[in-house]
Chains A and B, each alone.
Chain A
Amino acid sequence: MATLNPNIPSGPLDHKWEHHKFSSKLINPANKRKYKVIVVGAGLAGASASATLAELGYEVHNFVFHDSPRRAHSVAAQGGINAAKNYQNDGDSVHRLFYDTIKGGDFRARESNVHRLAEVSVDIIDQCAAQGVPFAREYGGLLDNRSFGGAQVSRTFYARGQTGQQLLLGAYSALNKMIGNGGVRSYTHSEMLDLVVVDGHAKGIIVRDLQTGAVTRHNADAVVLATGGYGNVYNLSTYARGSNVTASWRAHKRGACFANPCYTQIHPTCIPVSGDYQSKLTLMSESLRNDGRIWVPKRKEDCKKPPAEIAEADRDYYLERMYGAFGNLAPRDIASRAAKYMCDEGRGIGETGLGVYLDFSAAIQRLGEDKIRERYGNLFAMYHEITDESAYKTPMRIYPAVHYTMGGLWVDYNLMSNVPGLFVLGEANFSDHGANRLGASALMQGLADGYFVLPATIATYLAGVKPDKRPATDTPAFKQAEENVQGLTKGFLASKGKRTPGSFHKQLGKIMWDHCGMARTKAGLEQGIQLLGALREEYRAGVNVLGAATEWNQSLEQAGRIGDFIELGELMCRDALMREESCGGHFREEYQYTKEDKEVQDGLVNPGDVKRRDDEFAFVAAWEFAGEGKAPVLNKEPLVYEEVKMSTRSYK
């Protein structure tokens, strides 16, 4: 069994972080440069961490598989970033952001981490504004805010519909400064394919240069993974096509526990699927729900009519009806499930019947088309490109799609995994969002981890490591890890199968969506595990990879990533099967509120809402790799709430 000590500092919740920073060891400036830190990934978390660690004086080596450290999928986040600035004087505070996030995560996140996130949120906005992030401003020159789901205050900062892009360019500019002055060495088109563990500590990585195919060994005193989420396990998602789980998964196979893999976020407002050739689903930002109203026809017979022909009285604004206090700004998991229920009832719209309307006519009438264009012009344009329809004239058609993964590698309060020296940041870790993430909180977490948390906590590990003593790359652990990578590559190229990696990805995605998607059951998950076991065997024998190892070879890259996704899919199903409760994005049909429940009769929740079982499942499930073909081992970190009382999550 793995040892999982969350290392939560003692003392009252709102003093833990200050106290921890003070009581942690420091490394003197002259010694910092003797420590080499590898950072994999340059999204918000990876770029901000690389830049900040280098500013502190560490020797930083940054690796990305992209051609440039400015392309990671953080770039696509549209709506905004939360911070408890209370610039709107509407009652916001660190404590309120903390509480909203804990409640939004359905009481499955670690309290101390979330409180720290809310505390540093205010510093992030200061940092980004100073870097030149062009946040939206009011005429007086002060920062503007908008509202996001799961909150009743306006605490979201934004840069038109391109907030992620602008924050990423800010972090990238900080990184550029440090690359330019030699503080960071940047490796692009470089994919991490294995973690090197020496005497139980993470001491390096194995990397394939995607242009030349050369496989190289890199040593370090600590390794930081900021490699993003794993939603592409579903094939169709709002992720970039290149997003993958390979770095995390290979670290998992070297001993890092994978926590809560079944917690996935299905975003309510995406453009519906149009055909089986589709490679990607496009998100329409949650910010649209500030002004858009979601509805379906009250009667099934009306579903095929053009929306303009359906009278106001015949429309069901179901979120406003079911969740009056939050209305169209209900959290994502709830809004997604509600859309599914409407479609299950046969009231879905569009050709496939898998869609609901997001309607701006009331807002356009109230504010005028120009104001709506100013707020969301780029999103309306994107919608038009994809669907050939104008959302100024007719409501958008939307449907839920896979968007984010709350699960990830297990980390303690210092963001260190159970493998000493291996740190995990951003979406790649599991720590802050529990079973559901609130909108505009992913950007906040990525930057919190990279700018403020890791730079303070990495010293707690490095202070115990002698400087200039990292193992050389010709030691057995490095040799073995490189052989492992070369072996995998050879295996793929030698396989005499008939099918492309992409065709397996489609098959995997369908199994995952059908068996481990928006609604899960015991029988469905058990069947999913069987199907995935068979798929894994078929993949080994049946995948066909053309080209060679020593050149640019996208099929080979894909083959490795999809093989890892198939294995991860099985772990997700096992986790979902084990978790015999519903919480946040994890919905087990067996555990839902019905009319007989007191909470429904008291008006706290609706029938069909998720039902947690705190007595048995208030823990983090951290899965440990036990060897090829062996069942993974479950470790439990109990969730102890000192400040908040776990309660029924009500948005009515």
Chain B
Amino acid sequence: MKVKLKVWRQKNRDASGEFKTYQSPELNPSMSFLEMLDVMNEQLAAGGEEPIAFDHDCREGICGTCSLVIDGKPHGPHKGVATCQTYMRSFKEGDEIVVEPFRAHPFPLVKDLVVDRKAFDRIQHAGGFISVRTGAAPDANSIPVPKEAADLAMDAAQCIGCGACVAACKNASAMLFVSAKVSHLGLLPQGQPERYRRVKAMVDQMDAEGFGNCTVTGSCEAVCPKEISLDFIARMNRDYLVALLKGDAKKPSGGGAG
């Protein structure tokens, strides 16, 4: 099969970008979408044109490095799969496929289809952890975790941090991502001591990064390669509200060496 590719090309953050259209060489329907781009890039390089820059790594849908908006949809046509697990059999002979980067203000463009998603890391530096020093943990079976809680926490923890939720949202909201992180830890008994401090810190950082608010259109859930549920946003909002009501913890009164 052959397809036409209409691809966003932009040399760097400061340059202006444009769509360019390329005719693919002969393709095999069993190729992955990224393998199609590999083949395309070989052809471009042979003609002296710089290859299309795109992010990728594990190519098995778990590292969250790959991105791309394919025909208007982050991670392409299929529900519950990342771009790297999208196969050319999902397209028809002669299709024109439009490929764009994830577009959102907090994800500045690096080159062509590559964007910088470090804002996600910074949100997690603010509170995406349970504070436990190495070596200080009790026996793993000393704190039983109900299976239902562990399973639901796992549903949230599956998030691969790709940013498709932000790219799909008209507000560039990161609520699905942040709520998955908050819920994963907040559902477990180990996560309780820092539960409210955590949600407050992460939401505050999310706002500081310039992500928009949630207006519950559900586009994030629809494109999430791990099908993270919108319910987690409700869970996060509840925790955030409680955190606001509780207010900041009272500062300890002095102390010091004895």
Contact = CB atoms under 8 A, between A and B. Distances in A.
Given A66-B65, A132-B184, A134-B153, A55 B134 contact: yes
Nearest to B205: A180
A119 B89 CA distance: 49
Nearest to B85: A385
Interface stretch (B28-36, B229-237, B250-258): B28-36
Contacts, number: 217
Interface of B: 11-12, 28, 30-32, 34-35, 38-39, 41-42, 45-46, 48-51, 53, 55-65, 78, 80-81, 85, 87, 89, 110-111, 114, 116-118, 120-121, 124-141, 143-147, 150-151, 153-154, 157-158, 160-161, 184-185, 188, 190-191
A481 B184 CA distance: 44
A125 B114 CA distance: 37
A193 interface: no
A486 B197 CA distance: 47
A473 interface: no
A141 B137 contact: no
A329 B4 CA distance: 47
A552 interface: yes
Interface in A264-305: 274-275, 277-280, 282-283
A128 B141 CA distance: 12
A500 B49 CA distance: 12
A123 B137 CA distance: 8
A67 interface: yes
Contact of B28 (A71, A172, A275, A544): A275
B42 A500 contact: yes
Contact of B63 (A71, A141, A159, A279): A71
Given A126-B138, A211-B110, A278-B35, A551 B12 contact: yes
Given A52-B134, A132-B190, A68 B120 contact: yes
B129 A174 contact: yes
Interface of A: 48, 51-52, 55, 66-73, 75-76, 85, 87, 123, 125-132, 134-143, 159-160, 162, 164-166, 169, 172-174, 176-177, 179-180, 186, 188, 211, 240-242, 274-275, 277-280, 282-283, 381-382, 385-386, 388, 451-452, 455, 500, 502-503, 544, 546-547, 551-552, 554-555
B57 to A, nearest CB: 4
B30 A275 contact: yes
Contacts of A72: 63
B145 A71 contact: no
A85 B118 CA distance: 38
Given A66-B57, A132-B188, A73 B63 contact: yes
Given A68-B118, A138-B147, 5 more contacts: A67-B116, A166-B157, A280-B60, A283-B60, A382-B61
Contacts of B128: 173, 176
Contacts of A51: 134
Contact of A177 (B49, B89, B131, B145): B131
A183 to B, nearest CB: 11
Nearest to A52: B134
B190 A188 contact: no
B255 to A, nearest CB: 19
Contact of B150 (A136, A180, A500, A503): A136
